Amino acid sequence: MIRTAKPLDKSQVLKFCQNTFSWGDYVEHVWDYWLNEDLLFVYEKQFPVGICHGFFSKNQMWIEGIRVDPNFRKQKIASELVRHAESIGQKNGALFSFMLIDVENSTSLYMAKSLKYDILQTWNFYSLEPKKNSNLNVIFPKSFGESLYPQYVKSWRWLPIDDVTISELVKQNKIIQSKIDGKVSTAIISDSEHFDNTLIVTLFSGSEKTSLQIILFLQNYAIENNCTRIQILTKEELFDYEFLAHKLSFHLLRKNLV
């Protein structure tokens, strides 16, 4: 019933991955990437009726892209796909499994909780417009508090931060900070692996003033690096500016696999 996806599955799968969200779906754009990354699973009943993608990183499993054909819902297909992905993670030594669910998606939240996932944190997604700015109060730190920031977002996956990751990010000037009046905001910049010209930023906001400096820097950084989209993920609720739009809020859920 559950097998590894094949290139020929794409057309059938995309038939039920059209209107998942109010704006459509992104599976069409990431399908080929997920195939190359492996761990893309299909639930088959003569033809594919469900999919799920897993991503193994260090000691954790990231589960994403759970989709089920509307004609085959309420048959525990999503749950079986998640359990299958979890089993692969366990075989690879994963201690935890994570997933991200829209705070308003009660059906998926119910499914996750039935599988023993707990809400770990709530995150907000903001879209930021690129713009030319100057004279910004930001620095590129040479060290970073791993204990303060245990995870960062890369291609919409919450991945663990360790010394190797920090060292690489510091070398690439991908960590920025602003310090004003004793308050500190920190951001980690990553380029989307699935979408062209898109910056994905993890923001840890310490104050409105310092966050604004980072936001102005990101606008300018995007212009200088020919990026057309900036996506900010943060646990904090940011202030209202015409160039900064709140899009969605998500729960980050975690399950202990041990």
**What is the Cβ-side half-sphere exposure of residue 142, based on CA atoms within 13 angstroms?**
0
- To which residue do tokens 């994570």 refer? 98
Give dist(CA 77, CA 79) in Å, integer.
Answer: 5
**Separation of CA 61 from chain center:** 13
Closest by Cα among 165, 170, 201, 168 to 185: 201
Please tell me the distance from the alpha carbon of residue 59 to that of residue 96, in angstroms, as a whole number.
7
DSSP label at 137?
-
Task: Read off the tokens for 178.
Answer: 């602003």
pLDDT digits (tens, 9 = 90+) for 139-184: 999 876 656 788 999 999 999 988 888 889 999 999 999 999 999 9
Average pLDDT of the chain is 93
* Domain edges within the chain: 2-94, 125-253
Label residue 20 by pLDDT band (50, 70, 90): confident
Cα separation, 35 vs 88, in Å, equals: 16
DSSP track, 150-169: -EEEETTEEEE--HHHHHHH
Burial (CB < 10 A; 0-12, 13-18, 19+), residue 96, is middle
Question: For the residues 87-116, what does the mean pLDDT come to?
Answer: 95
pLDDT at 142: 82
Q: Model's pTM, two decimal places?
A: 0.92
- Among residues 39, 43, 42, which one has the least CA distance to residue 55? 39
Is the pLDDT assigned to residue 24 strictly greater than 90?
no
| Identity of residue 121 | Q
Give CATH for domain 2-94.
3.40.630.30
